[in-house]
Amino acid sequence: MINPLVDATLLEDRMLLHGPDGVVELPLAYQVHSRLIQTGELARLLAEHLREKAGPALPAAGSQVRLALPLNWGLVCLRLPHAGLGELAQPLHQVAWEIDNNAPEAVEQYYFDFHEAAGNEGAETLIMAVRQSLVHFCRTLLDELGLVLADVVPAGESGAGFRLELARAQAHLEALSLEHYTPVTPWRRFFVLGGVGVILAAAGILFTLNRPAPEQQVRIPTPPSAMTDSLRAALQPTTADSLPAGRAPATPPAAGPALAAWTTLLGELTAGEERLPDFLVLDAAGALVRVKRRGEVNLRDVLTRPARATRVGRGGYWLQLDEPLNGGLLAEDPTRPVLRLTLAHLVELAPRLREAPARLILQRRRADGSGQSTRWHFGAQDTQGAATGWLVTVFPARPGGRGGAR
């Protein structure tokens, strides 16, 4: 027989037991402080005091407990306006990426769980993450009381719908370590492997035919001054007059034509930064935007270059550039880590790029009044809180690798 699920709330100075006859309030012998919350010794002291004071009010031994905790104890609640993460090839890596980009600590420090729910505009995904040290503290407290921690939920109406099922969270951590990055999708693998084989064979033949003698030195030619001058001009995409007041134009590092083209594109986005949506993905062929109320028109105006928009799912648009950036798409290099940057303004991005990326993800950061949960906003009409900068994820490109047309 499965024991019933009991609801309880743990606060800084008391524990609440919710039952059919009402709420039983049990004061704690010690104040739960954020710097002491990770200690098992404190959990055992609290349990000893609660056993003495609660008596028969405690649930039956072995009862499963759904424990509510204050949001300001470091609970991370993310609401993603789309569903279907479970259908992805690597759903747990996607969830871990969301947490890693929004939590104050690395995702390895958390238990996490996710569920789909019905939102205002369709299905959405609710992700909840709790520090492992806090979960261990709560589990020790309940174990000492003869109870079993089953779920963790946020206390209060603002956390409604979020929950962390401990059994699922432990399974997620184990499954996450078994997921492996697949650099290409299955339908492309045959063509990619065949192409790589042909390229390697041709490279071997060319190397054999053109290998220099031991005493011969190979010198990389210096580009002519005209080319150098044109690149230098291309690396100055904006002027002080085209930028918002109080900002200086970016001075990107000198590099090849592909990075110069990216720098020019970023210059256009910087000039219209205030009109950008809160979330967009950029590559050399265009931009994927999640906005509402035809916000893709605004981005097309900001880009100031020919592009056509195609609707993608609910609230999403793909803006395909009529002319891809110099060199076209670059293949992503899965052997190199992504780079995550926190910027006050987009003007800071171009100088940080040392090479042309395969893809960029731009997410506007906004101040949350509660400071406890993060909600993504995709349209200027739906934003809440003042903008505090950008979170940028840079996916490195394979040197010389072309991704082909999209």
Q: Which helix (H) or strand (E) holds 321?
A: strand 316-321
Which residues have C-beta within 8 Å of that of residue 397, sequence separation ≥ 6? Answer: 330, 331, 332, 333, 355, 356, 357, 358
Interval 159-182: pLDDT, tens? 889 999 999 999 999 888 776 654
Question: Tell me, what DSSP letter sits at residue 109?
Answer: G
Residues of the chain with pLDDT below 50 are 1, 182-192, 213-254, 294-297, 369-383, 404-406
- Name the token pair of 74: 């470091």
Q: 3-state DSSP call for residue 14? A: strand
Which residues have C-beta within 8 Å of that of residue 351, sequence separation ≥ 6? Answer: 250, 251, 252, 253
Q: What is the pLDDT of residue 242?
A: 38
Taking the alpha carbons at both ends of the chain, their separation in whole angstroms is: 56
Torsional sign, CA 90, 93, 99, 100: negative
Distance of CA 55 to the CA centre of its chain: 46
Q: Phi and psi for 338 in degrees, rounded to 5?
A: -75, 160
Interval 366-400: pLDDT, tens? 775 443 334 444 334 444 567 788 989 898 888 76
Rounded to whole angstroms, what are the CA distances from 326 to 74, 231, 235, 283, 285? 45, 12, 13, 11, 10
> Of 156, 175, 70, 57, which is closest to residue 114 (Cα–Cα)?
175
Q: What is the pLDDT of residue 110?
A: 94
Question: Tell me, what DSSP letter sits at residue 121?
Answer: T
Q: What is the pLDDT of residue 97?
A: 87
Interval 269-287: pLDDT, tens? 888 888 888 878 888 888 8
How far apart are alpha carbons 365 and 128 in whole angstroms? 19
How far apart are alpha carbons 168 and 213 in whole angstroms? 63
What's the CA dihedral at 211, 213, 216, 219 to 10 degrees? 0
Lay out the sheet containing 110-119: strands in order across.
Answer: 110-119, 122-131, 76-80, 374-375
